[in-house]
Amino acid sequence: MAQLYGYVRVSTREQNEERQLVAMRDFGIPDNNIMLDKQSGKDFNRPAYKRLLKKLKPGDTLVIKSIDRLGRDYDEILEQWRIITRERQAAIVVLDIPLLDTRQKERDLTGTFIADLVLQILSYVAQQEREFIHQRQAEGIAAARTRGVRFGRPIKEPPEWFDEVRDAWERNEISAREAARRLFVDRMTFMAWVGE
C-alpha cells in the first residue's frame, strides 16, 4: 500500500518547525511518517532525509512545504528530484507551489514541461538566495571591521602583578608555562600579553 511521507527541515536547532509540521498534519500525514532534520540545506547529508529515501517505494508520495526545505543547491535539488521521481518512482508534492505536484498522472506534455521548468527556476532561485546570504554576510563583516568592530572573544586584560611575573620570565627565572600558571591563564594568553 502506498505511503504518504512528509519531510520537514529547519536550518538550526533554534528555529521552529511547527509551521511545517502543521502543514504536514493538515495534509493528512501521520506523525510517524514525518521526517524532521534540524540542519542546513546546503547539502543532503541529513539523517532523517537519508532514512526517508530508504523508505520511499514506488507509488509513495513525499510532501514538502516549500522547495527550499528540500535544499538550496541547484544541481543537488534537481538530482534529488530525479532520484525521488525516477529511481524511487515516488511522487512529490510541494505545498507552496501547486504546479509542483507529480501525482497528477494525467498531466500532458505541456504540464510536465511547465512543472520541470518551474522546478529548475525555483532551484536556481534557492541557490542564488544562499549565495546572496553569504555575500551579504561577508559584506557586513567587512563593513564592521572598517568601523573598528572586533570579532571573537575580547582580549583578557593582564592582572596587576603581570609586570613582576613577566620580569621573572624575562630573567629566565621561570618558564612561560609557570608564568601563565601564576597569572591564572593559559600559556598562549601569556605569550600574547608579552607580544610573542
Listed by start position, the domains of the chain span 4-109+117-128, 151-196
Q: 35 with 84: CB under 8 angstroms? A: no
pLDDT for the residue 155: 72
Q: Which helix (H) or strand (E) holds 37?
A: strand 34-38
Single-letter residue type at 174:
I
What residues form DSSP beta bridges with 63?
6, 93
Q: How many CB atoms are closer than 10 A to CB 179?
A: 23
Q: Domain 4-109+117-128 is of which CATH architecture?
A: 3-Layer(aba) Sandwich (3.40)
pLDDT tens-digit series, residues 77-117: 888 888 888 889 898 998 988 777 878 655 556 656 766 77
pLDDT for the residue 41: 65
- Residue 175 vs residues 60, 189, 195: alpha-carbon distances, Å: 68, 14, 16
Q: Which helix (H) or strand (E) holds 61?
A: strand 61-64
| Spatial CA neighbour of 25 closest among 57, 63, 56, 67 | 63
Single-letter residue type at 81:
W
Give the pairing type, strands 61-64 and 34-38.
unpaired
Residue 14 DSSP class? T
Q: Catalytic positions, please?
A: 11
| Spatial CA neighbour of 61 closest among 119, 3, 9, 1 | 3
pLDDT tens-digit series, residues 152-184: 777 788 999 999 999 999 999 999 999 999 999
pTM of this structure: 0.60
Sheet holding 34-38, edge to edge: 34-38, 4-10, 61-64, 91-94
